Amino acid sequence: MMDLDKIIASLRDGKHIPEETVFRLCLNSQELLMNEGNVTQVDTPVTICGDIHGQLHDLLTLFEKSGGVEKTRYIFLGDFVDRGFYSLESFLLLLCYKLRYPDRITLIRGNHETRQITKVYGFYDEVVRKYGNSNVWRYCCEVFDYLSLGAIINNSIFCVHGGLSPDMTTVDEIRTIDRKQEVPHEGAMCDLLWSDPEDVDTWSLSPRGAGFLFGKREVDQFLEKNNVELIARAHQLVMEGYKEMFDGGLVTVWSAPNYCYRCGNVAAVLKIDDDLNREYTIFEAVQAQNEVGNAIIPTKKSQMDYFL
Amino acid sequence: MLPEKRLLTPDDMKLWEESPTRAHFTKFIIDLAESVKGHENSQYKEPISESINSMMNLLSQIKDITQKHPVIKDADSSRFGKVEFRDFYDEVSRNSRKILRSEFPSLTDEQLEQLSIYLDESWGNKRRIDYGSGHELNFMCLLYGLYSYGIFNLSNDSTNLVLKVFIEYLKIMRILETKYWLEPAGSHGVWGLDDYHFLPFLFGAFQLTTHKHLKPISIHNNELVEMFAHRYLYFGCIAFINKVKSSASLRWHSPMLDDISGVKTWSKVAEGMIKMYKAEVLSKLPIMQHFYFSEFLPCPDGVSPPRGHIHDGTDKDDECNFEGHVHTTWGDCCGIKLPSAIAATEMNKKHHKPIPFD
């Protein structure tokens, strides 16, 4: 049996985790996640979190500002990896919390939780740099395929990474998707992870090249048909941390402050209480120096092969 | 036959990687890099040849076009690329053949047709309003094409192709990046060299190989960076990054550059940059699937047939729903919007951060 608390402590400190340990964490996570539905049922009170993008120290700040996993229930809307320094530690920390407190952490898949995207946008590079091979990246990608596609809070709030799909009008239809695969380039599963809300009259082509743009009409139809009052999603940077649209029927929550260590934005999480009241907590990026003056920089690893 | 995008699959990439076209093009880049060993930016070769002057005139015309399309819409509110970039792009595209003809009158109509697409695509993607090393590559293909057609003589022009032409191109790109808040295409976040460029680091490393005092670790000394920014391409890039990134230091926002600064000699850095360019640009499908093959960059046999559309400047170019287009490698193709550091810096100047509430 793994000592999760010890691993959690190492991860929080950004310390190296042996490859064998990562393998076992990923295997155990798969076994746990495969039993969850495409749309996970979650009870209030719960705190909804947006994109993390490997910003481990900001993830730790998020927990500190919002109560912590020992006392609070969380839904993470995906995009745990890519772009930041600590994609691996951020993702593994969330997996450990999932294993340690299965009923308190819900992890939804983002468009970055795929092989193709992580190969290009940093996670693969990070793993190869930290381990000298890509095995750990492969283990994590296996876990990605088991993440849920959405969550529903008290049957009243629908959570998803990107947004809606013209191919799926009900939550029950989402439950029929075979999700255990690489994110396809089109279709409902793709749309849930890639779509964006926009001031458009009807479904429109997304400039991202995947997913759709959807407007108020589509949101209102979805809310009414599924008898829910809010769609909570992430996927887009919001400089103010969160942004409500369509008369409060949809909210974008963004949880990576100073995104990519340079965008200068604040971040937010959204707490939903038992009466479905919304409370946004705003937080800023961790300073570049920790409290004892050491720069929060990954420890030196072997140099890139090109320069040996 | 107009230039065409042909690389779609990993098998295509294997054929490309083993092809004479890639070998010849790579040699071209290396020849240019070798030619600036020990040269400061101002130590270009004189007298400047007529063909280099013509290329500088061409770039001057492009620079003039950058002045014609000020940002008006969403000047203060949008965090993403400015749509006026499309007006700039359209004007370049409409005039590229004429500009090339006026500067290089010996080129035939067919040669102009082959070259103009690379000129059009040197400045960024019209639809996504982004820029990355793939667009920088297109500019180098333009230079390679002019060399293939006998305009440039490498024994005479290679140094000035870097120290005059490429540096002027880089200046224009910095104008476009800063003015239109171009998004980084295919950004690796902190795991890349730069948001936009690769070759200034490569050429810059070669410039520094014989330097007696500056070391790779010198990039952490801000005084040295400012002192040498205009003399060496590598330090110019570091200065640009320091200017646009809001975080504390290179170690924080640019770990790859920090890592490379630990290499002992510039010769090793230069050698590594060549390897890295081959691996990270010329061997990456997300970038190379947008590569145009042409008369002077012939496509190896056995590669996927051309896609149904030819570049004609329409909005549909680079549409991702075209049959056969690689969707399993989303990366650079299905661009993921990422505000540039320039945009973030500008926004910070205009707005106070909201006071956090709990």
Amino acid at B238: I
d(CA A9, CA A287): 21
Share of chain B above pLDDT 90, in %: 47
| CA distances for B318 relative to A150, B5, B165, B279, B328, angstroms | 31, 10, 28, 24, 15
Higher pLDDT, B88 or B323: B88
Measured in angstroms, the CA of B314 and the nearest CA of chain A are apart by 15
Whether B260 and chain A come into contact, CB under 8 Å, resolves to: yes
Residues A128-181 pLDDT 10s: 868 988 999 989 998 999 999 999 999 999 999 999 999 988 999 998 998 988
CB-based contact A65:A283 (threshold 8 Å): yes
Record: contact B286-A126, CB cut-off 8 A:
no
Q: Read off the pLDDT band of B127 (50, 70, 90).
A: low
Contact B255, B191 (CB under 8 A): yes
Amino acid B71: pLDDT: 86
Task: Count how many Cα atoms sit within 13 Å of the Cα of residue A306 in the half-sphere of its side chain.
Answer: 20
The first and second tokens of residue B65, run together, are 């076009």
Residue B323 pLDDT > 60, yes or no? no
Say which of A120, A263, A265 has its CB closest to residue B331.
A120
Please, which pLDDT band fits residue A294 given cuts at 50, 70 and 90?
A: very low
Residue B336 sits at the chain A interface (C-beta within 8 Å) = yes
Cis before A184 (ω within 30): no
Catalytic status, residue A112: yes
Query: Is A33 strand, coil or helix?
Result: helix
Sequence-distant (6+) residues with CB within 8 A of A275 are none
Q: Give me the pLDDT at residue A123, please.
A: 93
State whether A125 and B188 contact (CB < 8 Å).
yes
Chain A: give the shortest CA distance to residue B180, in Å: 16
A125 is in an annotated binding site: no
> A147 with A78: CB under 8 angstroms?
yes
Please judge whether A208 and B334 are an interchain contact, meaning their C-beta atoms are less than 8 angstroms apart: yes
Structural domains of chain A, ranges and CATH numbers in brackets: 4-283 (3.60.21.10)
Integer Rg of chain A from CA = 18
Pick the closest to residue A192 from A247, A150, A227 (CA basis).
Answer: A150
Distance between CA A113 and CA A239 in Å, rounded?
23
Tens digit of pLDDT for each residue in A105-115? 999 999 999 89
Q: How far apart are CA B350 and CA A254, in angstroms?
A: 21
- pLDDT confidence band for A240 (50 / 70 / 90): confident
Q: Quote the distance between the C-alpha of residue A43 and its chain's center.
A: 19
Inspect the interface and report whether the beta carbons of A120 and B251 lie closer than 8 Å.
no
Q: Which residue of A has its CA nearest to B187?
A: A121
Q: Which residue of A has its CA nearest to B347?
A: A264
Cβ-Cβ contacts under 8 Å, A259 against chain B: 339
Q: Please give the pLDDT value at position B332.
A: 35
In angstroms, what CA-CA distances link A24 with A17, A21, A35, A127? 11, 5, 18, 17
**B55 closest CA partner among B135, B172, B133:** B172
Residue A24 confidence class, pLDDT cut points 50, 70, 90: confident
| Domains, chain B | 12-289 (1.20.120.1150)
Write out the two tokens for A279.
Answer: 């409370």
Cβ-based contacts of A304 with chain B (< 8 Å) = 256, 259-260, 272, 276
Give residues with Cβ within 8 angstroms of B18, minimum separation 6: B300
Q: Is A53 annotated as a binding residue?
A: yes
Backbone angles phi, psi at A231, to 5 degrees: -110, 120
> Does residue A126 belong to the interface with chain B, where contact is any CB pair within 8 Å?
yes
Confidence of residue A13 (pLDDT cuts 50, 70, 90): confident
Q: Parallel, antiparallel, or unpaired for β A74-76 and A105-107?
A: parallel
Q: Do B337 and A265 touch (CB under 8 A)?
A: no
Q: Which two tokens stand for residue A144?
A: 């990605």
Give tens-digit pLDDT for B38-54. 999 999 988 999 899 99
Select from B7, B29, B3 the least CA-distant residue to B16.
B7
Confidence band (pLDDT; 50, 70, 90) for B64?
very high
Cα–Cα dist A159/B119, whole Å: 45
Q: Is A212 exposed, middle or buried (0-12, 13-18, 19+ CB in 10 A)?
A: buried
Task: Indicate the residue type of A225.
Answer: K
What CA–CA distance (Å, rounded) separates A168 from A188? 6
Tally the residues of chain B.
Answer: 358
